[in-house]
Amino acid sequence: VLSSCGVLFFDVNNLKPVNDAHGHDAGDMLLRVVAESLHSVVNRNIHAFRYGGDEFLIIAPNYTAEYLDTLIRMCRNRMRTLSQEMGIEVSVAIGKAWSDAGRDINIYNLIRIADREMYKNKRDMKQA
């Protein structure tokens, strides 16, 4: 029974400049660091996917909205560790969306909302 669903939308920052400056092997390494970081939080209930070129999703059914923040912290910590180990700077913009069963859970709407939130995060990061 689906009681809630959360979506995290990750977009890798600066992939094109990394590819242009250091080659596609470096860009692939950047994507691997992000993928491995997301994979580190996956379990039988939490799922991670590559959504597009440099975009990734985590789908967390039946978790609280607050737990999404925990997942974000876990992913960022793992990215930080992996980026230090591999010697490559990793930066991602993240958006989140959550709904409970009291509202109509529509995964497409949650992805759209998380995508919009990710773009807000990306703008905030550029202004900081």
Name every residue whose Cβ is closer than 8 Å to that of residue 69 and which is 6 or more positions away in sequence: 96
Q: Which amino acid is at 11?
A: D
Query: Is residue 79 packed enough to be buried (19+ CB in 10 Å), middle (13-18) or exposed (0-12)?
Result: buried
Both tokens assigned to 77:
């910590």
Model pLDDT, residue 67: 96
Both tokens assigned to 126:
């550029």
Mean pLDDT value across residues 78-94: 91
Read off the pLDDT of residues 12-34 as tens digits, 9 standing for 90 and up: 998 999 899 888 998 999 999 99
CA dist., res. 88 & res. 99, Å (int) = 35
Q: pLDDT class for 98, splitting at 50, 70, 90?
A: very high
For residues 100 and 4, the answer to whether their CB atoms sit within 8 Å is yes
Name every residue whose Cβ is closer than 8 Å to that of residue 72 and which is 6 or more positions away in sequence: 8, 94, 96
